[in-house]
Amino acid sequence: MKLGYTIIYVADVPATVAFYETAFGLTQRFVHESNLYAEMDTGDTALAFAADSAAEMNGLAFAPNEKAAVPAGWEICFVTDDVAGGFAKAVEEGCTPVTAPETKPWGQVVAYVRDMNGCIVEIASPIDQVRD
């Protein structure tokens, strides 16, 4: 098996796609005509959004992503050389700041925000994997 998709269930798919385009600079590659599903242009492993009601249709039930709710215990991480700029832009476009950019002991710059649906998004500088 390989990781094919990361699918985040949201109340409003087109609004979330538009939000990710402005807040994180992604581009969409496909929005289904039903507006129940969309994919961002993120390479082989698609970041996708599906409507809450599509999940219900498939028998799934979950704690819906919502700004006012406690976020689910996982995150999306975007990598950029300009974490401070990315963080400022995300907050300016409507993300809720969680932690401002800070440098970790291993040299990586990391910031956290929550997106329009309350999902945790990390913005981090690239890290060179140490290989031996």
Partner 1 sequence: MPIPRGYSEAIVTPQQSRSVEAVWSYVATSSGRGVILPDGRCDLILRFREDQRGTVQPVVTGPATQPYEIRYAAGDGWVGVRMRPERGIAVWGNAIGTAKDQVRRGAEAVTLVPALAELVDMAPCEAELRAGLLDVPDVLAHQDVDARVARTVQQIHLTGGRVSVVELAARVGVTARHLGRLFQSSVGLGVKTYIGLVRFHRALRLAARGGVALSEVAFEAGFADQAHLSRAVRRFGGISPGRVPPELILPDVAGSGQGLFGAAGQF
Residues that bind partner 1 (CB under 8 A): 4-5, 7, 30, 32-34, 36-37, 39, 46, 48, 50-64, 66, 68-69
* 56: Cβ contacts below 8 Å, ≥ 6 apart: none
In the complex, the smallest distance separating the C-beta of residue 84 from partner 1, rounded to whole angstroms, is 34
Close Cβ partners of 34 (under 8 Å, ≥ 6 residues apart): none
**Residue 39 exposure: Cα atoms within 13 Å on the Cβ side:** 11
**To the nearest whole angstrom, how small is the minimum distance from the Cβ of residue 67 to partner 1?**
11
**Contact call for residues 112 and 78 (beta carbons, < 8 A):** no
Of the two residues 12 and 122, which places its CB atom closer to partner 1 in the complex? 12
Closest by alpha carbon to 23, among 118, 72, 92, 77?
92
If the CB atoms of residues 4 and 25 are measured against partner 1, the closer one turns out to be 4
- Of the pair 66, 93, the CB lying nearest partner 1 is at 66
Nearest approach in angstroms of CB 119 to partner 1 is 15
